[in-house]
Structure 1
Amino acid sequence: MFDTAAALALLQYGDSAYPAGGFAFSWGVEGLAADGLLEGQGHLDLLVAEHLEARWNTMDRILLRRTFAAPDLAAAAAVDRYAEAATPSQQLRDGSHRAGRALLGVSVRQCGPLSTSYRALISADARLGHLPIVQALVYRDAGIGLAAAELLSGWTLVTGLVSAAVRLGTLGHIEAQQSLSSARAVLETLLASEPARDAEPSSFTPLIDIAVSRGPSRHVRMFAT
């Protein structure tokens, strides 16, 4: 049966207008475009697929699932510390912190109990608040189940990447819709298979990591990552 409440929650939290600060992050799109490595829809489709397959599915998704299953906030914080240790790029760590804490702040203002308690728990440690961990807690506060939370996490990454490309002038709005359709197929395939219960978070996106890490050395930039 069609779950209207779940669908409406997905529409709300997956909306690009949701005020969680996602518009400030390109996750490598800007850097790759500046270096001439991202030209048009074909390149963007490959980049989105790489993000989904080699980082989100093997890293962020695993962290989100662990946090979703965490019995308490201390266990969630342990996953957060793992995320910190498993992210070698300072720029990616900082971006994940900023995006996560922005999302957490919105949920706190909506009086989410887990979000409110978690912000108090991590307030003294700037290393915590990574995006996948916060997503799990915020979506639990919103009554969103694990399967929908995974879909939402992957889809907000996709829309953020495509939106960044449009804002940079790399492609137009019609091409952006075509890219979103391509990304839907990739994400659907990934979500059809659950990660192994003992899967360890990992990622291998060297070009993206380099593009993000070079951000502070660029004289002009639009995005934080």
Structure 2
Amino acid sequence: MTATDGIGLLVALQHGDSQFPSGGFAFSQGLEAASQLVDRLGPFSFPGFLHAQIGHRWAEADRIALVRAHRLRGDLSALATLDHEVEASTFVEGLRAGSRRNGAALVTSHARIGTPGATAYRAMLREGAALGHLAVVQGLLWHALGLDEASAVAISGYQAAASLATAAVRLGLIGAIEAQAEVARALPLIAEASLRAVADDEPIRSFVPLAEIAVALHGAAGQRLFSN
């Protein structure tokens, strides 16, 4: 391994770390509601929920948006257009809002540490010229940090699985050791999906209807731990 390779790996570890302030702790992608509404949505299984999210949401929507954003190489106008495409492709408002809030939190953190492009894109969010969906912001920032496309996809996939496992632990659905075992089982699925080719105009799509219904119902729920 060269020194350059070593720096790239360290940068990937830094920005893939759950301690990096991204604001994602407030969202469960429908996990909380799905686990609590079994009388309305049917039996709940965390492994099944996790694999559906990775295979049918992250692989086909978030990953696609991230790759396309990364390839835009900091073109803020084109990124804003992609932002609106992500908005239009996300059916449920709770998921749209969560993605925007996560993206805004992430770009704010990067603006404060001086990542190129972060301050300018944050200004576009404040002006309403861009929406700041998480995958788009990740593509912008991780490209600016010099991370290659494969590394950016790997970080995104790992975070998608790890954040759901963390949410499941906070909800008392699984223990910390089981959470790590479930993340480990999800890694091959992430790796396989990461190898699929992505065209520069690849459509953004997902199919997780039960999770989307859960998010919609979550908005009408009373006391809850997560926003979606």
TM class, shorter-length: over 0.9
Decide which of 205, 208, 212 is 1:205's aligned counterpart.
Answer: 208
8 Å CA contact 1:31–1:215 kept in 2: the answer is: yes
C-alpha distance in structure 2 between counterparts of 1:76 and 1:126, whole Å: 10
C-alpha distance in structure 2 between counterparts of 1:214 and 1:196, whole Å: 35
C-alpha distance in structure 2 between counterparts of 1:68 and 1:197, whole Å: 10
**Matched residue, 2:54:** 52
C-alpha distance in structure 2 between counterparts of 1:126 and 1:207, whole Å: 32
Shift of 1:193: 2.4
What TM-score, normalized to structure 2? 0.92
Indicate how the Cα distance of structure 1 residues 111 and 222 shifts in structure 2: closer, same or farther if over 3 A, else same: same
8 Å CA contact 2:26–2:226 kept in 1: the answer is: yes
C-alpha distance in structure 2 between counterparts of 1:133 and 1:197, whole Å: 14
Deviating more after overlay: 106-115 vs 121-130: 121-130
C-alpha distance in structure 1 between counterparts of 2:195 and 2:72, whole Å: 23
Decide which of 81, 89, 93 is 1:90's aligned counterpart.
Answer: 93
Q: Aligned runs of 1:106-185 on 2, under 5 Å?
A: 106-125=109-128, 128-185=131-188
**Matched residue, 2:36:** 34
Shift of 1:38: 6.5
What TM-score, normalized to structure 1? 0.93
Q: Which runs of 4+ in 1 moved over 6 A?
A: none
8 Å CA contact 2:80–2:130 kept in 1: the answer is: no
8 Å CA contact 2:80–2:129 kept in 1: the answer is: no
Decide which of 77, 80, 83 is 2:83's aligned counterpart.
Answer: 80
Q: Aligned runs of 1:179-198 on 2, under 5 Å?
A: 179-198=182-201
C-alpha distance in structure 1 between counterparts of 2:129 and 2:36, whole Å: 30
C-alpha distance in structure 2 between counterparts of 1:141 and 1:109, whole Å: 15
**Matched residue, 1:24:** 26
8 Å CA contact 1:58–1:202 kept in 2: the answer is: yes
Indicate how the Cα distance of structure 1 residues 38 and 123 shifts in structure 2: closer, same or farther if over 3 A, else same: farther
Decide which of 46, 65, 68 is 1:66's aligned counterpart.
Answer: 68
8 Å CA contact 1:65–1:146 kept in 2: the answer is: yes
8 Å CA contact 1:84–1:127 kept in 2: the answer is: no
**Does 1:215 find its partner at 2:218?**
yes
Indicate how the Cα distance of structure 1 residues 17 and 10 shifts in structure 2: closer, same or farther if over 3 A, else same: same
Residue identity (%): 37
Indicate how the Cα distance of structure 1 residues 193 and 210 shifts in structure 2: closer, same or farther if over 3 A, else same: same
Task: Tell me which amino acid in the other structure corresponds to 2:80.
Answer: A
C-alpha distance in structure 1 between counterparts of 2:200 and 2:114, whole Å: 32
CA root-mean-square deviation: 1.7
Deviating more after overlay: 85-94 vs 29-38: 29-38
